[in-house]
Amino acid sequence: MADKGLTPYLMALRPHQWSKSLVVFAAPLFSFQFSHVIFLNSFLAFTLFCATSSGFYLINDSFDVKSDRRHPVKCKRPIAAGLVSIPEALLLAALLLIIAVVFGWRHAHLLGATLVAYALLQVAYNLKLKQTVILDIVAIATGFVLRACAGAAATGITLSTWFLVCTAMLALFLGVEKRKAELRLGQIQGTNTRKVLNRYSLPLLNRIESTVTTGAVMSYALWSAGPVLQGAPTPWMMITLPFVLYGIFRYQLLSDPSEVARQSHGPSYGGRGERPEEILLTDRPMALVVVVWAIAVVVILFLHKQGLLP
């Protein structure tokens, strides 16, 4: 490692994708429970999930090295580029996975079990599910749901039904968008990096997207309606619904073929939809609406706890 430096190894962990694990903070946020203890426990879950996901990124990149070298973007990853050897990647992956599960189990058995469940899901995904139509999208979504469950397990928070439904619908939305981006990029490049894409078409994915988008919006709206529907502690959370709608619509705009063509950033831009963390970090309107949504939630929480909201 000393000869090449640590940078290739760090990049092989895909730190830019750690933003996906921010979902672990959703449980305390949606339950309106905040304290320094809950934050520290949530941060622990975040760290352990980052380590676990990075471990499987290393494994995935090691097994997919041949197909990654044919991909216009993935060919730049350290393992595909030859900057990190496969034995080194697998050794680092094993260390990360062992450390994450051990620390998670010692903190809370349910957190450790959630990490194990995520690990088993990733094994199943890589062995079979990623080549199985429909179930590949479900597996991607389940990974996000398990992250949310990890946040609850680490803090002892009980998840509401609406929270789980909304998380699942949004996760399915991201999974569909990922496959749409991969399919479109394959059409642009004239290559197919996933066999499962042969079973999909843009019209099919658009219909699935319509269903899960409707489910996500409706479940969030019902949750934000307040205690009358066993949702948020206050119906004032309905104020945040427009931000959620804008975020979903903005994501759809950025992944639309016409918008991709208009941006003219080259073929790799057409695959941004398969990298939600990149859209979140690089698209200013998307980042802004997420920040405004978070501020609105915190303000409503503060005013509700102070008894200033009717």
pLDDT in tens, 47-59: 999 999 999 999 9
- Asked if residue 278 has pLDDT above 70, the reply is no
Other CB atoms within 10 Å distance of the CB of residue 115? 25
pLDDT of 258 reads: 66
Per the model's pLDDT, the better-predicted residue between 269 and 11 turns out to be: 11
Give the amino acid at 58: L
> 187, exposed or middle or buried, with CB in 10 Å at 0-12, 13-18, 19+?
middle
pLDDT of 274 reads: 52
What dihedral do alpha carbons 37, 144, 31, 294 form, nearest 10°?
A: 90
pLDDT of 208 reads: 93
- Asked if residue 273 has pLDDT above 70, the reply is no
- Asked if residue 1 has pLDDT above 70, the reply is no
pLDDT of 101 reads: 94
Provide the 3-class DSSP secondary structure of residue 131.
helix
Q: Which residues of 155-183 are buried (b: 16+ CB within 10 A; e: fewer)?
A: bebebbebbebbbbbbbbbbbbbbbbbbb
Mean of the per-residue pLDDT values of the chain: 85
Give the amino acid at 5: G
Query: CA 240 to CA 304: how far, in whole Å?
Result: 15
Report pLDDT digits (tens) over 187-224. 776 666 678 888 888 899 989 999 999 999 999 999 89
Mean pLDDT of 38-45: 93
pLDDT of 259 reads: 66
Q: Which residues of 292-308 are buried (b: 16+ CB within 10 A; e: fewer)?
A: ebeebbeebbeebeeee
Contact 224, 235 (CB under 8 A): yes
pLDDT > 70: percent of the chain: 89
Mean pLDDT of 246-267: 72
Contact 102, 52 (CB under 8 A): no
Query: CA 272 to CA 181: how far, in whole Å?
Result: 7
Query: CA 22 to CA 38: how far, in whole Å?
Result: 14
Give the residue ranges of DSSP H helices in the chain. Answer: 7-12, 26-30, 36-63, 65-68, 86-107, 109-127, 135-155, 161-189, 202-224, 241-255, 257-263, 276-282, 284-305
Q: How far is CA 202 from CA 177, 182, 192, 197, in A?
A: 10, 11, 14, 10
- Asked if residue 265 has pLDDT above 60, the reply is no
- Asked if residue 88 has pLDDT above 80, the reply is yes
Query: CA 11 to CA 49: how far, in whole Å?
Result: 17
pLDDT of 120 reads: 96
Mean pLDDT of 3-31: 85
Query: CA 72 to CA 88: how far, in whole Å?
Result: 24
Report pLDDT digits (tens) over 135-186. 999 999 999 999 999 999 999 988 888 888 988 999 999 889 888 878 877 7
Residue-by-residue DSSP string for 30-62 = HTT---HHHHHHHHHHHHHHHHHHHHHHHHHHH
Report pLDDT digits (tens) over 104-147. 999 999 999 999 999 999 999 988 898 899 999 999 999 999 99
pLDDT of 103 reads: 95
pLDDT of 66 reads: 84
- Asked if residue 245 has pLDDT above 80, the reply is yes
Which residue is listed with tokens 């449980």?
27
Q: How confident is the model at residue 262 (pLDDT cuts 50, 70, 90)?
A: low
pLDDT of 2 reads: 45
Contact 55, 122 (CB under 8 A): no
pLDDT of 277 reads: 61
